[in-house]
C-alpha cells in the first residue's frame, strides 16, 4: 500500500503545497489504505462505492469526527481516486455532508484589553496583542521578521499568509510601543522577531504560543471560549463597528473572498441593534380583541 501513498503525496506536491499541508492531506488516505489492508484485503482499484461509504461510516464511528472533517476526508478520497487511480469520481455515490455552522466567540473590547494587560511576560503580550491590533493569525505572528515591521509606514508586511498571499496589516502606534519594549527586553532580535527559547535561530512555533495563551486564560479565569483566533475575529468585528467598510477589512485580514468577511456583520451586536424592525414603524397597532 505504500506505493499508493507515495504517488498520492507526489500528486499533492505538484500543487505546490507546503510539506505541512501535504502531511495533513495524507492523514486519511493513510487511514484508508490501512483500512483496506486490515479489513477488506483489497487493492484500491477493487473497492466499490458501497465499501467507500462503509469506510467513511467507519471513520465517523471510530474517531467521532465532525461532518466538516468527514468532508475533508471525502475530498482526499476524491483526489486519490482521480489523480492516483485515474478513475472517475461520482459525487452522487459519496456526497459531501451538510454540517452546522456556528458563529465564533468574539471577546468585547473590555475583555481584549483585560486579557492583554494582565499578561506579565512581554513576549507573550506582544504576540497576543498582534493578533488583535493587526488581526493576525498566530501562524503569521510566529513567522514575523524584524524587517517586516515597517515603522516609517506604520504597517506590517505579512509574507505568504494563509493562501500563500502577501499583504500589509495595520501597525498600531500602541503596538509599535509594545514591540519596541519587547525588542529591547529580548536582545534586539534582527532575524525572526519571536524565536524559540532554546533555539534562537528558529521562529517560535504556534503550539508554544497557544499553550502559553491557554495557561494565561485559565489562570485569570477568562471565558474558555476565547482562543488566539478570537482576537483576530474581534479585530474584524470591532473595525466593522467603527464604520470601516468590508472591502478594507477583507484586505487587512487577507481574506480571499468577501464572503469570509461578511461574518463580521453577524458578529457585531451593536450593528444589529442599530437596525430597526419595520414592525416597530407600524405605530398605533393594537392586539387587544
pLDDT (tens digit, 9 = 90+) per residue, 208-252?
999 999 999 999 999 999 999 999 999 999 999 999 999 999 999
Give the 3-state secondary structure of 164-191.
CCCEEEECCHHHHHHHHHHHHHCCCCCC
Query: pLDDT band for position 195 (50/70/90)?
Result: very high
Q: Which residues of the chain does CATH 1.10.443.10 include?
A: 109-273
Q: What is the pLDDT of residue 274?
A: 75
Q: What is the pLDDT of residue 62?
A: 84
Q: What is the pLDDT of residue 13?
A: 83
Query: pLDDT band for position 276 (50/70/90)?
Result: confident
Taking alpha carbons only, the member of 249, 20, 251, 236 closest to residue 131 is 236
Query: pLDDT band for position 22 (50/70/90)?
Result: confident
Question: Is the confidence at residue 255, as pLDDT, over 70?
Answer: yes
- Give the three-class secondary structure for 127: helix
Q: What pLDDT digit, counting tens, does each position of 103-115 carry?
A: 889 999 999 999 9
Region of poorest pLDDT, from 12-26, 106-120, 169-183, 215-229 = 12-26
In sequence order, what are the beta bridge partners of 157? Answer: 168
Rg (CA), the chain: 24
Question: Is the confidence at residue 16, as pLDDT, over 80?
Answer: no
Arithmetic mean of pLDDT, 41-47: 92
Residue with the larger pLDDT of the pair 18 and 111: 111
Arithmetic mean of pLDDT, 172-181: 96
Q: What is the pLDDT of residue 163?
A: 58
C-alpha neighbours within 13 Å on the C-beta side of residue 244? 18
DSSP string across 209-268: HHHHHHHHHHHTT--TT--HHHHHHHHHHHHHHTT--HHHHHHHHT-SSHHHHTHHHHH-
Q: What is the pLDDT of residue 161?
A: 58
Question: Is the confidence at residue 138, as pLDDT, over 90?
Answer: yes
Q: Which residues of the chain does CATH 1.10.150.130 include?
A: 2-83
Average pLDDT, the chain: 89
Arithmetic mean of pLDDT, 157-163: 75
Q: What is the pLDDT of residue 247?
A: 93
Q: Which fold has domain 109-273?
A: hpI Integrase; Chain A (1.10.443)
CATH number of 2-83: 1.10.150.130
Question: Is the confidence at residue 287, as pLDDT, over 60?
Answer: no
Q: What pLDDT digit, counting tens, does each position of 56-82 carry?
A: 999 888 888 888 889 989 999 999 999
C-alpha neighbours within 13 Å on the C-beta side of residue 44? 23
d(CA 17, CA 26): 12
Q: What is the pLDDT of residue 188?
A: 93
Amino acid at each position: 500500500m505504500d506505493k499508493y501513498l507515495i504517488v498520492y503525496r507526489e500528486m499533492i506536491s505538484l500543487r505546490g503545497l507546503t510539506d505541512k499541508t501535504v502531511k495533513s492531506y495524507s492523514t486519511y488516505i493513510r487511514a484508508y489504505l490501512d483500512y483496506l489492508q486490515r479489513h477488506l484485503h483489497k487493492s484500491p482499484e477493487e473497492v466499490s462505492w458501497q465499501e467507500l461509504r462503509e469506510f467513511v461510516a467507519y471513520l465517523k464511528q471510530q474517531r467521532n469526527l465532525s461532518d466538516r472533517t468527514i468532508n475533508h476526508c471525502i475530498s482526499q478520497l476524491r483526489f486519490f481516486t482521480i489523480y492516483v487511480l485515474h478513475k472517475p469520481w461520482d459525487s452522487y455515490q459519496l456526497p459531501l455532508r451538510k454540517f452546522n455552522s456556528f458563529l465564533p466567540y468574539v471577546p468585547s473590547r473590555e475583555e481584549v484589553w483585560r486579557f492583554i494587560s494582565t499578561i506579565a511576560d512581554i513576549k507573550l503580550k506582544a504576540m497576543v496583542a498582534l493578533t488583535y491590533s493587526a488581526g493576525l493569525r498566530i501562524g503569521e505572528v510566529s513567522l514575523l521578521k524584524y524587517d517586516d515591521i515597517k515603522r516609517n509606514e506604520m504597517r506590517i508586511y505579512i509574507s505568504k499568509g494563509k493562501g500563500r498571499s502577501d499583504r500589509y496589516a495595520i501597525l498600531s502606534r500602541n503596538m509599535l510601543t509594545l514591540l519596541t519594549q519587547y525588542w529591547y527586553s529580548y536582545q534586539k532580535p534582527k532575524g525572526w522577531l519571536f524565536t524559540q527559547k532554546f533555539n534562537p535561530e528558529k521562529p517560535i512555533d504556534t503550539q508554544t504560543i497557544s499553550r502559553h495563551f491557554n495557561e494565561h486564560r485559565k489562570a485569570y479565569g477568562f471565558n474558555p471560549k476565547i482562543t488566539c483566533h478570537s482576537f483576530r475575529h474581534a479585530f474584524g468585528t470591532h473595525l466593522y463597528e467603527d464604520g470601516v467598510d468590508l472591502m478594507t477589512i477583507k484586505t487587512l485580514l487577507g481574506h480571499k473572498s468577501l464572503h469570509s468577511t461578511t461574518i463580521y456583520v453577524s458578529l457585531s451586536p451593536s450593528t444589529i441593534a442599530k437596525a430597526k424592525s419595520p414592525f416597530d414603524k407600524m405605530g398605533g397597532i393594537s392586539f387587544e380583541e
